[in-house]
Chains A and B, each alone.
Chain A
Amino acid sequence: MTVTAQGPLPTGSYDVAVVGAGVVGCAVARELARHPRLRIALVEAQDDVGQGTSKANTAILHTGFDAAPGTLEARLVHEGYERLGAYAAETGIPVERVGALLVAWDAEQLAALPELAQKAERNGCHDTSLLGPDELYAREPRLGPGALGALHVPGESIICPWTTTLAYATQAVRAGVDLHLNAKVERAHRGTGEDHLLQTTRGVLSARRLVNAAGLHADTLDRLLGHEDFTVTPRRGQLLVYDKLARPLVRHILLPVPTALGKGVLVAPTVYGNVLLGPTAEDLDDKRATGSTADGLAGLRDKGRRVLPDLVDEEVTAVYAGLRAATGQEDYRIAVHPEQGYVTVGGIRSTGLTASLAIAAHVTGLLQDTGLDLGPVREPQPLTMPNLGEAFPRPYQRPELIAADPEYGTLVCHCERVSRGEIRDALAGPVPPRSLEGLRRRTRARAGRCQGFYCGAAVRELFESAQNEGIRT
């Protein structure tokens, strides 16, 4: 198993280099890793997997009911929903099929619902139904006054995006993929022979085939390869995460009727037992503008107050902002350039998490079109991820686990009930965290309402002693 974060990159040529270890890049690497004859590199600019759009999104497993019918995105989301649903069940990624309600707040929105139901039908989503106000309020008693009806989409689910990305990366690394972190691609050119030479911040990496899964930076890498097909405009989404004590207020994903700018502001439970409010949709120029703004947060609270009036009285546990890769086109920008041995996976918007496994299969097919011989298949070893979801037993709730190892009954992070055992396991994992934030995404330690008031220093102590241990050995 190889994960590197510093020093020069290995010499010798890889069969495939995947640039970008977000949810899509990790899924592609995992899919390629099913072919043991291939030598694969997963190259990431930052110090962890899933550090871009993959870590800051609405964490929804979409049915694709509202995709534009006939697009590649619609097909891959539909297929990815099934694939990821099955994969999650197998690996222990928390998923809750809570269903969504598209709530109509005026006559115009109410009139739009039947058409949305038909669109869902065309997208292969056959179990939607229209609800009148009585049925709607019976399903969501705390919904604000004035809702006229809703479209119920029972398949819409909530999922843990961090565990998903980490599961892909873990399986890829275990199956022999080399994950190179802190390696930002700065230039790309063809060497003698057919190889791509990627000039990174950690030196040169050479590969016969190249997959561009660079997310927000996919257009930049595409240009390095000589293509001017699209421009990524970062679309900022700010989100508020409310305290777990707010979780009983809401049962479904509550969506507005969509507008041209996107899916609008939603209120949704999270698998961790919080309630999410967001996102905003702001088109920006700066691909590093992951800050929240006073106006953005105030706007969200105004919208949230209408949807779920009791929500805004609860404490906010976290605020974050993510950037989606908007390209000005209502579809993914997946393109193969066979003569270059190069596949671009661009414009993967908020649906990328859902579609990830289907994108990976699709991209693998495109790589074959470039003449890549995949060789025989070996299915990856089954994987069980640590459970971060409240709908499934957490370690502190498992007597047999604590009896076998008391560290699982020793809680360090009290708000999120994270045990020393879970922190220890994450620090010793195949793709270990390199920051406290990385540890938080793997365990939820420090992710709770106190944000470290009680446990911050103790968690940091565990993290730093593991780092020091790592340096000594």
Chain B
Amino acid sequence: MTARRSAPSAGGAHGTPGPFAREVDVLVVGAGPAGLVAAARLAASGAGRIEVLEREREAGGVPRHCAHGGFGTRTHPLTGPEYARLLAEAAGRAGAVLRTGVTALDWGTAPGAAGAQGSGTGADTGAQHGPVLPGVVLNAVGPGGPETIGARAVVLATGARERPRTARLVPGTRPAGVYTTGELQQAVHLFGQRIGTRAVVVGAEHVSYAAADTLRAAGAEIVALVTEQLRAQVPVTRAQSARLRHRIPLLTQTTVAELLGHGRLSGVRVRHRDGRTAVLSCDTVVFTGDFIPDHELARRGSLALDPGTRGPAVDGFLHTSRFGVFAAGNVLHAVEPADAAAREGARAARAVLGFLAGAAWPGPGVPLAVEAPLRWIAPNRITPAARPERYVLRTAAPLRRPVLYVHQDGRLLHHERPVPAAALPHRTLTLTARWHHRVDATGGEVRVSVR
């Protein structure tokens, strides 16, 4: 399918099915916190027609089914669904068009667009001023049929999901009663479905405790939380509250070795690091955490991905390797809290406004990589004009009083002691961007290590 320019009055006339070609100024894919905030800011700034495509029936993203608190601000705390609703209303009030039930499927071809193809090394269109319309084309489908949408800029805000049991290669049978937190929360909070009576939660992060709360709300007894880490990945007060107030055992240094049962789950075999195994009798198991960006659209568009995050590689202004395409939110770093995704949406909006006003599209920049035990860093490209607000990182192993070092070609650019003093896997670790100006834009990869 190719994009056609159509007169404003042209549309998907009934009886003549076929791709309905339209143009907008900015197309946002995904109506979670990042996408909604980006759309609201862009619409409020008079960036023209701003459209948000959301494949679910309701806007709001993951917070829609996080019935717990912890959203909003300290002075104005909100539950997930309240937060999701407020963000959607704000985007709508600002003039953005929210289109739910519409799925962005794939990229179309844009006559006149100079988008980078392949591995992202082709983004040498930096000096171009005022992109030729339409810049980027996406094919979508919804109840109204297929459509082709051209936009001057696109913001990918497709979010992240938890790895399911299969992707974690947990052996055993394939019984019913196996969940991710996402499915569990929707089942309980959006549909009021029955879950089970005895549940094991895999993981001991914030999301794992949230899953345990949801299970208890659905009337299930929690048999145990199981983590391969040495301790829970949440503040001591939260872990203690679960253990002491709700009498939920925490099995550390333990993995789920096998799922048992035909038809319905009958138990999970767990294995301690020392080799001991045991069977926990249960009818439900929830695999929590282990998030991965939902990067299908990015990959279909041949956007360069960062090997660490597996999301699109972006610079400090959230430019991807493809001309006119920005990315924000947890598709870049699976996962940060909703307010971090929202702040990034606002940042993407500022960058899009600059681009629409004629700012040059940067080249691929210098890659930014991490060394073990660090797992990933975002943003992960360094371009001279785009200094990020900060970097977020993850470590694979707990670090006590870590010091982060930034090197380029053997030259030390920076070192700092992050706050807080201990870094845990699955918890946000940040690095300032104070060293940005020291990077040689023609030099080699910049590497972050820890000591």
Which residue of the partner chain B has the closest CB to A301?
Answer: B169
Q: Binary interface profile of B, 4-30, with partner A (CB < 8 Å = 1, else 0)?
A: 000000000011011100000000000
Is the pair A409, B141 in contact by a Cβ cutoff of 8 Å? yes
**Which of B141, B161, B191, B294 is in CB contact (< 8 Å) with A402?**
B141
Any A CB within 8 A of the CB of B340: no
Any A CB within 8 A of the CB of B343: no
**Which of A414, A453, A457 is in CB contact (< 8 Å) with B103?**
A414
- Please give, as numbers and ranges, the residues of chain A lying within 8 Å of B180 by CB-CB distance: 450-453, 456
Any B CB within 8 A of the CB of A296: yes
Any B CB within 8 A of the CB of A245: yes
Is the pair A454, B191 in contact by a Cβ cutoff of 8 Å? no
Q: Which of A58-66, A81-89, A285-293 contacts B (4 or more CB under 8 A)?
A: A285-293
In the complex where A452-B183, A453-B161 touch, is A292 in contact with B17 (Cβ < 8 A)? Answer: no
- Please give, as numbers and ranges, the residues of chain B lying within 8 Å of A417 by CB-CB distance: 103, 105
Which residue of the partner chain B has the closest CB to A300?
Answer: B169
**Which of A403, A407, A414, A449 is in CB contact (< 8 Å) with B145?**
A403
Is the pair A319, B169 in contact by a Cβ cutoff of 8 Å? yes
Any B CB within 8 A of the CB of A399: yes
- Please give, as numbers and ranges, the residues of chain A lying within 8 Å of B299 by CB-CB distance: 245
Is the pair B143, A407 in contact by a Cβ cutoff of 8 Å? yes
Q: Which of B82-90, B170-178, B401-409 contacts A (4 or more CB under 8 A)?
A: B170-178
Any A CB within 8 A of the CB of B312: no
Any B CB within 8 A of the CB of A294: yes
Chain B's nearest CB lies how many Å from the CB of A268? 18
Q: Binary interface profile of A, 18-33, with partner B (CB < 8 Å = 1, else 0)?
A: 0000000000000000
Chain A's nearest CB lies how many Å from the CB of B187? 4
- Taken together as a complex, chains A and B put the C-alpha atoms of A436 and B15 apart, in Å, by 36
- Taken together as a complex, chains A and B put the C-alpha atoms of A142 and B383 apart, in Å, by 33
Is the pair B163, A409 in contact by a Cβ cutoff of 8 Å? no
- Taken together as a complex, chains A and B put the C-alpha atoms of A174 and B173 apart, in Å, by 34
- Please give, as numbers and ranges, the residues of chain A lying within 8 Å of B296 by CB-CB distance: 245, 415
Any B CB within 8 A of the CB of A396: yes
Q: Binary interface profile of A, 444-461, with partner B (CB < 8 Å = 1, else 0)?
A: 000001111110111011
Is the pair B183, A291 in contact by a Cβ cutoff of 8 Å? no
Which residue of the partner chain A has the closest CB to B142?
Answer: A409
**Which of B17, B145, B165, B169 is in CB contact (< 8 Å) with A451?**
B165
In the complex where A290-B173, A452-B183, A456-B187 touch, is A315 in contact with B258 (Cβ < 8 A)? Answer: no
Any A CB within 8 A of the CB of B262: yes
Is the pair B193, A461 in contact by a Cβ cutoff of 8 Å? yes
Any B CB within 8 A of the CB of A320: yes
A-B CB pair tally, cutoff 8 Å: 129
Chain A's nearest CB lies how many Å from the CB of B165? 7
Any B CB within 8 A of the CB of A118: no
In the complex where A316-B167, A410-B143 touch, is A457 in contact with B101 (Cβ < 8 A)? Answer: no
In the complex where A245-B296, A461-B191 touch, is A317 in contact with B141 (Cβ < 8 A)? Answer: no
Interface residues on chain B, number (Cβ under 8 Å):
47
Which residue of the partner chain B has the closest CB to A290?
Answer: B173
**Which of A245, A402, A451 is in CB contact (< 8 Å) with B143?**
A402
- Taken together as a complex, chains A and B put the C-alpha atoms of A397 and B141 apart, in Å, by 8
Any A CB within 8 A of the CB of B196: no
Any B CB within 8 A of the CB of A125: no
Which residues of B, 87-136, contact A by the 8 Å Cβ criterion? 101, 103, 105
Which residues of B, 165-213, contact A by the 8 Å Cβ criterion? 165-167, 169, 171-174, 176, 179-180, 182-183, 186-187, 190-191, 193
Is the pair A291, B171 in contact by a Cβ cutoff of 8 Å? yes
- Taken together as a complex, chains A and B put the C-alpha atoms of A288 and B103 apart, in Å, by 40
- Taken together as a complex, chains A and B put the C-alpha atoms of A458 and B143 apart, in Å, by 17
Any B CB within 8 A of the CB of A297: yes
Is the pair A293, B141 in contact by a Cβ cutoff of 8 Å? no
- Please give, as numbers and ranges, the residues of chain A lying within 8 Å of B260 by CB-CB distance: 291
Chain B's nearest CB lies how many Å from the CB of A77? 29
In the complex where A406-B143, A457-B183 touch, is A449 in contact with B191 (Cβ < 8 A)? Answer: no
Chain A's nearest CB lies how many Å from the CB of B325? 18
Any B CB within 8 A of the CB of A400: yes
Is the pair B187, A402 in contact by a Cβ cutoff of 8 Å? no
Any B CB within 8 A of the CB of A411: yes
- Please give, as numbers and ranges, the residues of chain A lying within 8 Å of B190 by CB-CB distance: 457
- Please give, as numbers and ranges, the residues of chain A lying within 8 Å of B169 by CB-CB distance: 294, 297, 316, 319
Is the pair B171, A297 in contact by a Cβ cutoff of 8 Å? yes
In the complex where A410-B101, A453-B183, A461-B193 touch, is A396 in contact with B141 (Cβ < 8 A)? Answer: yes
In the complex where A400-B17, A403-B17, A454-B161 touch, is A291 in contact with B176 (Cβ < 8 A)? Answer: no
Chain A's nearest CB lies how many Å from the CB of B201? 16
Any A CB within 8 A of the CB of B3: no
Is the pair B166, A411 in contact by a Cβ cutoff of 8 Å? no
- Please give, as numbers and ranges, the residues of chain A lying within 8 Å of B171 by CB-CB distance: 291-294, 296-297, 319
Q: Binary interface profile of A, 96-137, with partner B (CB < 8 Å = 1, else 0)?
A: 000000000000000000000000000000000000000000
- Please give, as numbers and ranges, the residues of chain B lying within 8 Å of A400 by CB-CB distance: 17
- Please give, as numbers and ranges, the residues of chain A lying within 8 Å of B145 by CB-CB distance: 399, 402-403, 406, 409
- Taken together as a complex, chains A and B put the C-alpha atoms of A456 and B173 apart, in Å, by 19
- Taken together as a complex, chains A and B put the C-alpha atoms of A346 and B168 apart, in Å, by 37
Any B CB within 8 A of the CB of A72: no
- Please give, as numbers and ranges, the residues of chain A lying within 8 Å of B19 by CB-CB distance: 399
Which residue of the partner chain B has the closest CB to A317?
Answer: B166
- Taken together as a complex, chains A and B put the C-alpha atoms of A464 and B176 apart, in Å, by 15
- Please give, as numbers and ranges, the residues of chain A lying within 8 Å of B164 by CB-CB distance: 449-453
14 contacts between A and B (CB under 8 A): A291-B173, A291-B260, A315-B167, A319-B174, A400-B17, A402-B143, A402-B145, A409-B142, A414-B55, A414-B103, A450-B161, A451-B180, A453-B180, A454-B161
For the complex of A and B, the 9 pairs showing the least CB-CB separation, nearest first, are A451-B164, A399-B17, A406-B143, A457-B186, A456-B183, A453-B182, A457-B187, A403-B17, A291-B173
Given contacts A290-B173, A316-B167, A457-B183, 10 further A-B contacts (CB under 8 A): A245-B296, A319-B169, A396-B105, A399-B17, A399-B146, A403-B17, A407-B143, A411-B141, A417-B105, A460-B187
